[in-house]
Amino acid sequence: MNEKFLALNFCRDGKPLEAAPVAGMTLLQTGSMRFRWNEENPNRTSFLNDLSSPDKKVAAVELIHSHTVYAIEDANEVKGLQGDGIITQNRKIIPVITAADCMPILIYDPVSKVFGALHSGWKGTGIACDAIMLAQEKYGARVKDFCVIMAPHIHDCCYFIEEDRSSFFAQNFTPDCVSPIRQGENAGKYALSMAKANLEALKKIGVPQENIVISSDCTCCKKNPDGNFKFGSFRRQTSSLPQSLSLEERQKLFTVQAAWVKW
């Protein structure tokens, strides 16, 4: 297996959308796409240089697990900024976010031509709705026209949370997105489906379910045919690390994926 990324396709009315931008997400073997404004990551730089071109520029923000989305006309507008999403109508921009278990959400409206990339951790659940509302306000886009891809992320087979967080999701999204674990080492916890939570949020604002694609790949446990893991995963790759390590130290010891939309 020599691929560097997974190609993802937008759909409308349950069918692949023609003449749409390309969406993609890097794989574990491609190496870490970790991004901080005050850090250098030669591996990320090399990959994104290959992805871009003289007339197409990457736009990225330093992620903070928020609902902050930027609508931009030039890639330089987000230089130095923090947030969790970028939307635009400018085909010369490649919006890029990073994730390792959190959900990359990629959006495209074939009518207004708005497209973007969003990062949705548990705190950012619903950010796709914020992005679509921003597109409606700034570009005159309509909710019903949007196509959405929920890219590979940690699924409820591997994502276990405590009761207080479970209650938050059940009350603010849908009870169907959490289920109690009765047996095993995680008994007493709850399995969380970020896909069901985000799907409910999108349906509530009027995005047709037929326009939403949900990847079945779990970043924590999905393997290639050769038995190697397909994606980097914060949960999987840091579970055996010493508890004495800080969160910042842990965050440097797992493989981060990049996800993007590109014309």
Q: Render pLDDT for 139-154 as a digit per residue (tens, 0 to 9).
A: 999 999 999 999 999 9
pTM: 0.95
Rounded to the nearest 10 degrees, what angle do helices 194-205 and 127-139 cross at? Answer: 30
Q: Give the span between the Cα atoms of 206 and 202, in whole angstroms.
A: 6
Q: Render pLDDT for 85-123 as a digit per residue (tens, 0 to 9).
A: 999 999 999 999 999 999 999 999 999 999 999 999 999
**Fold designation for 5-154+194-262:** CNF1/YfiH-like putative cysteine hydrolases (3.60.140)
pLDDT at 251: 66
Residue-range domain boundaries for the chain: 5-154+194-262, 156-192
Q: Give the span between the Cα atoms of 224 and 58, in whole angstroms.
A: 29
Q: Give the span between the Cα atoms of 27 and 31, in whole angstroms.
A: 7
pLDDT at 245: 74
- Residue 168 or residue 251, greater confidence: 168
Cα Rg of the chain, angstroms: 18
Neighbours of 208 (CB within 10 A): 17
Q: Which residue has the tokens 């959006």?
A: 107
Q: Work out the mean pLDDT of the chain and round it to a whole number.
A: 95
